[in-house]
Amino acid sequence: MAEQDVIITEVALRDGSHAIGHQFTVDQVVQLSKALDDANVPYIEVAHGDGLAGSSLQYGLSKTDEMALIEAAASVCNNAKIAVLLLPGIGTVQELKQAANIGAEMARVATHVTEADVSSQHIAMAKDLGMETVGFLMMAHMAPVKKLVEQAKLMESYGADTVYVVDSAGALLPHEVKARIRALRENLQINIGFHGHNNLSLAMANTLAAIEEGATRIDGSVRCLGAGAGNTQTEVLVSVLDRLGIKTGIDLYKMMDLSEDIAAQILQKPQEITKDSLVLGYAGVYSSFLLHAQKAAKQFGVDSRDILIELGKRRVVGGQEDMIVDVAAEIVKKNTAVM
């Protein structure tokens, strides 16, 4: 790349939605987007945590309509491009068209790691709309490398400009990230990306491992504002990459300042690795399940860790949030039978 060795997408205004129960306001989005744009962040993702049309009883209701948030972000960015996430089966091409009409320039189409085939029409539509297209293979720890390559090649064939290895559970270890990125680099002709979560305190290590193997598109979240224990922390990542001589084009001091002055005020409590977020990574459970599991645990009077461990055993994936309550109820029934 001419100016950047690594291109960073800031995901706090999408992934961070999970951390605050999807309660972003227009004012918060305007403030953070404007500051990120001023810091020369190239891409800013804005949407409900579960992507376009994610606001629902199952996934969590948004305080503000996401289209209002997307439009607000686009209106204050002079250089940064606005990205949106779409999960086929939740969002449709209609929401994609609407997002493109109000300023979104990148579509990140996300599927479970073994279900890339459901992304074809959405990637094609994004291309038709003139958007940059990204294939997002979630829960990447749940498929062997060979399967991951097969699915990534499908997304490439549909027209994706980039394919991401997405560690949705924060469960991957650095050597596993390296193997996956290396395999994609050897088999694809397009950009390779990595999206990490910090549930095992490995988001930064995994991101660096991905970059070492050739990933050039990287996700970060300012102040670690993301699902579970958060994502790779953007301002820290920029600092580390600068130390390594890897160019991002992002103003480090401005990132530090907006982290302290804006993002910290949005967080309801500091992002840290709690017993529940640690279990997400340990059991390989979708990071956005955290608040849902804690709510169910309180409702049924059970240990949230037991819910998450059982979800991991059942290999539950994104989109199966309704299973959380079912598992909690089953634990109560089981505990009652033992007494």
Catalytic residues: 18
For residue 103 the two structure tokens come to 């300023």
Distance CA 249, CA 234 (A): 13
Place of tokens 């990071």: 287
Tokens of 112: 């479970």
Closest CA to 59 of 298, 297, 286: 286
Q: Which of 13, 62, 28 is nearest to 222 (CA)?
A: 13
Of residues 227, 326, 215, 327, the one with CA closest to residue 281:
227
Cβ distance 112 to 98 under 8 Å? Answer: no
In this structure, are strands 81-86 and 104-112 parallel, antiparallel, or unpaired?
parallel
Phi, psi (deg, nearest 5) at residue 310? -65, -40
Helix (H) or strand (E) holding 166: strand 162-166
168 belongs to an annotated ligand binding site = yes
141 assigned binding-site residue = no
Q: Helices (DSSP H) in 229-321: which residue ranges?
A: 234-243, 252-258, 264-266, 275-283, 289-300, 304-313
**How many CB atoms lie under 10 A from the CB of residue 323?**
18
Neighbours of 249 (CB within 10 A): 18
Q: Is residue 314 a known part of a binding site?
A: no
Q: Is 14 annotated as ligand-binding?
A: yes
CA 327 to chain centre: 25
Q: Is 112 annotated as a binding residue?
A: no
Calpha distance 107→105 (Å, rounded): 7
Is 197 annotated among the ligand-binding residues? yes
How many other CB atoms are there within 10 angstroms of residue 36's CB atom?
29
Nearest to 198 by CA among 332, 1, 67, 16: 16
Which residues does the annotation place in the binding site for substrate? 14-15, 168, 195, 286
Please enumerate, by residue number, every residue annotated as part of a binding site: 14-15, 168, 195, 197, 286
Binding-site positions for Mn(2+) read: 15, 195, 197
